[in-house]
């Protein structure tokens, strides 16, 4: 689930932090990198658990209203469609989710105000209104309801992002990516799988974990060498005047080119140029592209193993 886009972002952040701190034990920093990636995976489960918590809150609300001293007709016979949603019930019963939540202490208990706010937003939405009016009462309808809720009410939700910032410092740049994986997971759910529905693993395979560790270590271990390469192509620029993040982006990109020859150079360049658009200055992507292309030309003259 943790793809290489997210891995590259985390490596960039960690290498930048190492330079800002003025030096750090690589093994300690490596453990911090892996912890950061683990916390990204936690976020995936937080999103799935949010479905459960919103459903539980609505169930408690309806029960409280039903037990009032003088409940109204509507309170005695409320619309139960949201709390009887088959997909939400399946998520709640999921064995992998329940085990992970228990082992890692994942909970929305300290963010009850946000869960309440989320429920209100859902109940007042056109999505919920259309769901109640839909004559088709099926598992597919229930699943599509929650997929629409995620796509239109949870993705890009400023209140959610604020709540997540308070919950973990690791999630500042993870939310958008993890949300896409949650939507994919919802789409993959099958009623016949019941509580044994598979969820996405932390890594697609062991190679991705090794990619993270190797990329980070090589970017740091050969940092001086790579920065010397970069400085040779700065021309009218003094290295001290180049944005620190620009240097880090180029440094990590070179490490990837050198130690992962199976990844096409064009793919590596595009990934780090895109990263520059978000993590550095407005002109950085063009600047970084030019410098890296010059460095790559040097490598091609020296090493025949470099491939497009």
Full 3-state SS string of 265-306: HHHHHHHHHHHHHHHCCCCHHHHHHHHHHHHHHHHHHHCCCC
35, 202 contact by CB (below 8 A): no
pLDDT for res 236: 61
Alpha helices in 67-81 (DSSP H): 73-76
pTM of the model: 0.90
Q: For residues 301 and 83, which has the higher predicted lDDT (pLDDT)? A: 83
Surface-to-core class of residue 93, CB atoms within 10 Å of its CB (0-12 exposed, 13-18 middle, 19+ buried): middle
Average pLDDT over residues 125-140: 97
Structure tokens at 44: 């995936």
pLDDT, mean over the chain: 92
List pLDDT tens digits, range 153-167: 999 999 999 999 889
How much is the average pLDDT of 27-34? 94
* C-alpha distance across the termini of the chain, in Å: 27
Q: Would you state the pLDDT for residue 240?
A: 53
Three-class secondary structure assignment of 174-213: CHHHHHHHHHHHHHHCCHHHHHHCCCCCCCCCHHHHHHHH
pLDDT value, residue 203: 95
The whole-number pLDDT of residue 305 equals 45
Q: Is the pLDDT of residue 307 over 50?
A: no
- Alpha-carbon 206 to chain mean position: 19
What pLDDT, on the 0 to 100 scale, is given for residue 18? 92
Residue 204 corresponds to which tokens in the numbers above? 């697609």
CA torsion sign for 161, 163, 166, 168 is: negative
Taking a C-beta distance cutoff of 8 angstroms, is the pair 41, 202 a contact?
A: yes
Minimum mean pLDDT range among 47-56, 128-137, 281-290: 281-290
DSSP SS3 for 71: coil
What's residue 299's pLDDT?
86
Instruction: Dig out the tokens for 243 from the structure.
Output: 């944005």
Neighbours of 35 (CB within 10 A): 11
How large a percentage of the chain has pLDDT more than 90? 77
CB burial readout 45-70, b (16+ within 10 A) else e: bbbbbbbbbbbbbbeeebeeeeeeee
Contact 251, 276 (CB under 8 A): no
pLDDT at position 21 is 86
Q: What six digits make up the tokens of 19?
A: 């330079």
pLDDT in tens, 284-296: 899 999 999 999 9
Minimum mean pLDDT among 58-62, 190-194, 221-225, 278-282: which range? Answer: 278-282
**Spatial distance between the Cα atoms of 63 and 57, rounded to a whole number of angstroms:** 10
Q: How confident is the model at residue 250 (pLDDT cuts 50, 70, 90)?
A: very high
pLDDT (tens digit per residue) in 75-127 = 787 889 999 999 999 999 999 999 999 999 999 999 999 999 999 999 999 99
Three-state DSSP state, 134: coil
Report percent pLDDT > 70 for the chain: 96
SS3 3: coil
Rounded Cα distance between 186 and 278, Å, is: 28
- pLDDT tier at 308, thresholds 50, 70, 90: very low
């Amino acid at each position: 689930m943790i793809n290489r886009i997210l891995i590259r972002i985390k490596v960039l952040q960690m290498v930048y932090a190492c330079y800002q701190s003025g030096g750090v034990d690589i093994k300690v920093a490596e453990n911090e990198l892996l912890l950061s990636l683990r916390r990204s995976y936690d976020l995936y489960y937080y999103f799935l658990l949010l479905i459960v918590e919103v459903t539980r809150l609505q169930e408690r609300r309806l029960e409280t209203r039903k037990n009032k001293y003088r409940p109204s007709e509507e309170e005695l016979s409320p619309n139960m469609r949201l709390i009887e949603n088959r997909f939400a019930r399946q998520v709640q019963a999921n064995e992998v989710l329940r085990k992970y939540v228990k082992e890692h202490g994942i909970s929305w208990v300290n963010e009850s105000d946000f869960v309440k706010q989320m429920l209100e937003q859902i109940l007042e939405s056109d999505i919920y209104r259309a769901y109640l009016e839909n004559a088709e009462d099926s598992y597919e309808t229930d699943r599509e309801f929650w997929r629409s809720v995620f796509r239109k009410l949870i993705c890009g939700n400023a209140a959610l992002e604020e709540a997540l910032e308070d919950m973990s410092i690791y999630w500042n740049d993870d939310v958008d990516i993890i949300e896409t994986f949650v939507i994919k997971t919802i789409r993959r759910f099958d009623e016949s799988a019941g509580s044994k529905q598979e969820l996405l693993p932390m890594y697609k395979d062991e190679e991705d974990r090794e990619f993270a560790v190797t990329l980070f270590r090589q970017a740091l271990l050969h940092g001086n060498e790579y920065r010397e390469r970069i400085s040779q192509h700065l021309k009218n620029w003094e290295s001290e005047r180049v944005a620190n993040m620009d240097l880090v982006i180029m440094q990590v990109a070179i490490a990837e080119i050198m130690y992962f020859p199976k990844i096409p150079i064009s793919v590596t360049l595009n990934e780090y140029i895109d990263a520059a658009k978000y993590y550095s200055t407005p002109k950085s992507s063009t600047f970084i592209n030019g410098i890296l292309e010059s460095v790559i030309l040097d490598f091609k003259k020296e090493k025949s193993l470099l491939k497009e």
